[in-house]
């Protein structure tokens, strides 16, 4: 699906919890599971949400690769060519196979600057980030930890399904992410997402507007909640 300007503008203006709720509105039920678990670390907390089609890869860094150096170098450049290709907007999602033992920062000044230059909108990794004062402006990184070293970081493979923070991501999945975490928007929901977000916003005003008035009480809440429930049908 090609994103029109209206949907892109809307997705840039809302947070990821809003998108998560809107998916349930579009599906007409609760129980959506396509979101990250646990707490993510945010490189630049003041940045707004980022979104796009997933470009995926897996890395390791605790131990040196046992492959020949020329194989590693060739794969690294093939990785960058892969990241430079594909539909835009795009998000890079990197699974660190070292998991909880991860020590090697793939994301720092150099890689954020390079990926931003390749027109990716942000990065999600269960691994390590560093260079927090020197990251590319307006390029968000959600990571599992912060550390000083790159270790023996190397690309194991790319364009493959990955798992970060309990979220399974396939190449080409559409993600929305911010400091709360990330969500994969089901492909059948994406064409309805703008309408679902607007419907959810409108229904929430039935609660929020009365609750912000000085004369709000439990009686007005009961009335507001009834109107809210009717609006969600």
85-108 pLDDT tens trace: 999 999 999 999 999 999 999 999
88 and 153 inside one domain: yes
The verdict on residue 210 lying in a domain is yes
68 and 179 inside one domain: yes
The verdict on residue 4 lying in a domain is no
Alpha-helix runs per DSSP H in the chain? 5-13, 16-27, 69-84, 109-117, 193-211, 218-231
Identify the band that residue 3 occupies on the pLDDT scale cut at 50, 70 and 90. Answer: confident
What confidence score (pLDDT) does residue 232 get? 67
pTM for the structure as a whole: 0.93
Domain coverage including residue 201: 194-231
What confidence score (pLDDT) does residue 201 get? 87
How do 105-107 and 50-60 pair as beta strands?
Answer: unpaired
What confidence score (pLDDT) does residue 233 get? 59
Question: What is the pLDDT of the chain when averaged over all its residues?
Answer: 95
Q: What is the mean pLDDT of residues 168-195?
A: 97
124 and 173 inside one domain: yes
Q: Structurally, how many domains does the chain consist of?
A: 2
pLDDT by residue (tens digit) across 95-154?
A: 999 999 999 999 999 999 999 999 999 999 999 999 999 999 999 999 999 999 999 999
Q: Can you list the positions of beta strands (E) in 70-169?
A: 90-96, 105-107, 122-125, 128-129, 140-143, 145-146, 154-158, 162-164, 167-169
The verdict on residue 14 lying in a domain is no
179 and 213 inside one domain: no
Measured distance CA(80)–CA(118) in Å, rounded: 9
Q: Is pLDDT above 80 for 215?
A: yes
Measured distance CA(186)–CA(199) in Å, rounded: 18
């Amino acid at each position: 699906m090609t994103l029109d300007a209206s949907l892109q503008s809307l997705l840039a203006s809302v947070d990821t919890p809003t998108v998560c709720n809107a998916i349930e509105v579009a599906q007409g039920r609760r129980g959506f599971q396509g979101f990250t678990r646990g707490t993510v670390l945010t490189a630049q907390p003041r940045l707004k949400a980022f979104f796009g089609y997933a470009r995926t890869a897996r890395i390791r860094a605790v131990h040196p690769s046992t492959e020949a150096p020329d194989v590693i170098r060739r794969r690294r450049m093939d990785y960058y060519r892969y990241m430079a290709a594909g539909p835009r907007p795009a998000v890079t999602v990197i699974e660190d196979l070292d998991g909880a033992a991860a020590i090697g920062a793939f994301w720092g000044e150099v890689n954020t600057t390079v990926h931003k230059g390749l027109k990716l909108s942000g990065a999600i990794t269960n691994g390590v980030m560093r260079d927090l004062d020197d990251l590319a402006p307006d390029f968000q990184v959600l990571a599992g930890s912060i550390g000083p070293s790159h270790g023996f970081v190397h690309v194991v493979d790319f364009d493959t399904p990955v798992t970060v923070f309990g979220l399974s991501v396939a190449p080409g999945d559409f993600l929305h992410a911010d400091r709360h975490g990330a969500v994969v928007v089901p492909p059948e929901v994406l064409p309805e997402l703008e309408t679902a977000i607007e419907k959810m916003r409108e229904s929430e005003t039935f609660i929020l507007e009365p609750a912000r008035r000085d004369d709000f009480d439990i009686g007005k809440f009961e009335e507001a909640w009834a109107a809210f429930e009717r609006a969600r049908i």
